[in-house]
Amino acid sequence: MSLDKPYLDVPGTTIFDADQSRKGYWLNQFCMSLMKAENRARFKADEDAYLAEWPMTDEQKAAVRARDLNWAMKTGGNIYFLSKLGATDGLSFQQMAGSMTGMSEQQYRDMMVAGGRSPEGNRVVGEGGDAQGAMSQSAAWKAWEEKTQKDLSAAVQQAQAATESGAKGRARISASVYSSHVPAIGAAIDHGKTAEPYWAPLFKGFEPSKQWMKEHTPDVIFLVYNDHATNFDLSVIPTFAIGTAAEFEPADEGYGPRPVPKVMGHPRLASHIAQSVIQQDFDLTIVNDLKVDHGLTVPMNLMFGSPAQWPCRVIPFHVNVVQYPVPSGARCFALGQAIRRAIESYDEPLNVQIWGTGGMSHQLQGPRAGLINADWDNRFLDRLIADPKGLSTMPHIDYVREAGSEGIELVMWLIARGAMADVAGGPAPKVAHRFFHVPASNTAVGHLILENKG
């Protein structure tokens, strides 16, 4: 994988990136739990019983029992999280850091008093510095490694064989899909109302889409949506957030969770995208635990119907359009281009679609609720197809005035559009389907499928 991880050859150092974070999720969550006095007391009273409550790996639990911080970090632990374990044992940060160096507490303290460890010879693996040796290991870790060596060599052989026989190539974006995500559409599906006169014309407009999707099922959907006060409450609302978990349950938005399958993620590709996009100077929030709301599940139903399992993996990508300031159209369009570069640098021949959801015109609040602007919406669709760059410079106030306060969701469509090949100098996309319908609940429903050619 062509991930740019220049920090891998820094001696005696583990950088906590999205891959480590995913690996260490439950270990670090366990550590966080020790911030409560009551949990510390329970852990101290019976470590095994307390650890049994956490879905950590056996190795992570063994590393915790051994209090071997190097070992814990190897399994995904992060020092700031692990420090809660040290604190529970009454250790200072200096004692914890020193415990990983192979020095005695006194030796480490003396080294710090004498000015600290020198970077000379410790910048790159293979230089002659004093941090170049093997990591200090507890007896428990050594015993663990001996025991697992056999399994490990088998796993390495297997991985090598898979790499050699595996198909070579890069991921590519084959198409983008745009759709409103009105929750009432989900309710109509869940309550068997799709054939009612109010709903039938809407679902008819998505019949060609379902057919198209049968013929163009991707491996992965990069699905841009906004969390609607579901996963993110007002304590934290990230501007851009990527879901790196292995699975995402449908959220309970107050009516009970929708009866739709859980969404299977693609942690490796998601981590790769996070790494690449952040290195392109977009600040993404990495989310390891996320429940997905109607913003994501309703478009899935519109495109796939109601299967027992979703037929592909999904990377949820949240954009804040709830609390101002929300990102500009231009920022979203540029982000889409960065996402395209990230996806197309992933060394596995995956077929990836990128979806933009939300909109079109709607206002859900105040005396102006119910605003619909079909002309404006259709011009938005025209320009999204033929002039996305020009469209991306439209200021927020135009969305609000013309398409209603919640019409601002449409900036998310520019992320998907920015990821299409023509924006990077390729051929113009083919419009495989276009549909517009008023109303669904409070909203004008718009829908487009754009295929990348070649």
Angle, CA 131 vertex, CA 128 and CA 136 arms, to 5°: 135
Closest contact distance (angstroms) between CB of 196 and Fe ion is 22
Closest contact distance (angstroms) between CB of 187 and ligand DHB is 10
Whose Cβ is closer to ligand DHB: residue 286's or residue 403's?
A: 403
Whose Cβ is closer to ligand DHB: residue 182's or residue 315's?
A: 182
With CA atoms as reference, report the closest residue to 451 among 317, 359, 353: 353
Pick the catalytic residue: 181, 228, 266, 294? 294
The alpha helices in 245-347, defined as continuous H runs, are 267-279, 294-304, 329-343
Interaction with Fe ion in 356-375: which residues (CB under 5 A)? Answer: 358
Q: Which of 364, 369, 424, 431 binds ligand DHB (CB under 6 A)?
A: 364
Interaction with ligand DHB in 122-181: which residues (CB under 6 A)? Answer: 181
Under rule CB under 6 A, residue 182 binds ligand DHB: yes
**Taking CB within 5 to 8 Å according to partner kind, which of Fe ion, ligand DHB, none is near residue 442?**
ligand DHB
Q: Which of 70, 99, 230, 443 binds ligand DHB (CB under 6 A)?
A: 443
Closest contact distance (angstroms) between CB of 219 and Fe ion is 27
Q: Which of 352, 442, 446, 450 binds ligand DHB (CB under 6 A)?
A: 442
Strand extents, DSSP E, 219-292 = 220-225, 240-243, 247-248, 263-264, 285-287
Whose Cβ is closer to Fe ion: residue 234's or residue 308's?
A: 234
**Are the C-beta atoms of residues 253 and 187 closer than 8 Å to each other?**
no
CA distance linking residue 132 with residue 122, whole number of Å: 7
Whose Cβ is closer to Fe ion: residue 68's or residue 293's?
A: 293
With CA atoms as reference, report the closest residue to 180 among 441, 389, 429, 393: 441
Closest contact distance (angstroms) between CB of 92 and ligand DHB is 49
Under rule CB under 6 A, residue 224 binds ligand DHB: no
Closest contact distance (angstroms) between CB of 24 and ligand DHB is 34
CA distance linking residue 335 with residue 170, whole number of Å: 20
Exposed/middle/buried for residue 124 (C-beta within 10 Å: 0-12, 13-18, 19+): exposed
Whose Cβ is closer to ligand DHB: residue 77's or residue 358's?
A: 358
**Are the C-beta atoms of residues 411 and 329 closer than 8 Å to each other?**
yes
Interaction with ligand DHB in 258-317: which residues (CB under 6 A)? Answer: none
Whose Cβ is closer to Fe ion: residue 72's or residue 221's?
A: 221
272 is known as an active-site residue: no
**Taking CB within 5 to 8 Å according to partner kind, which of Fe ion, ligand DHB, none is near residue 183?**
ligand DHB
216 is known as an active-site residue: no
Q: Which of 358, 404, 407, 418 binds ligand DHB (CB under 6 A)?
A: 358
With CA atoms as reference, report the closest residue to 402 among 441, 435, 362, 442: 362
Residue 277 has a CB neighbour count (10 Å cut-off) of 21
Which of helix, strand or coil describes residue 443? Answer: strand
327 contacts: CB under 8 Å, gap ≥ 6: 239, 240, 319, 320, 335, 411
Active-site residues: which are they? 294, 362
Site residues (vs ligand DHB, CB under 6 A): 181-184, 228, 358, 362, 364, 441-443
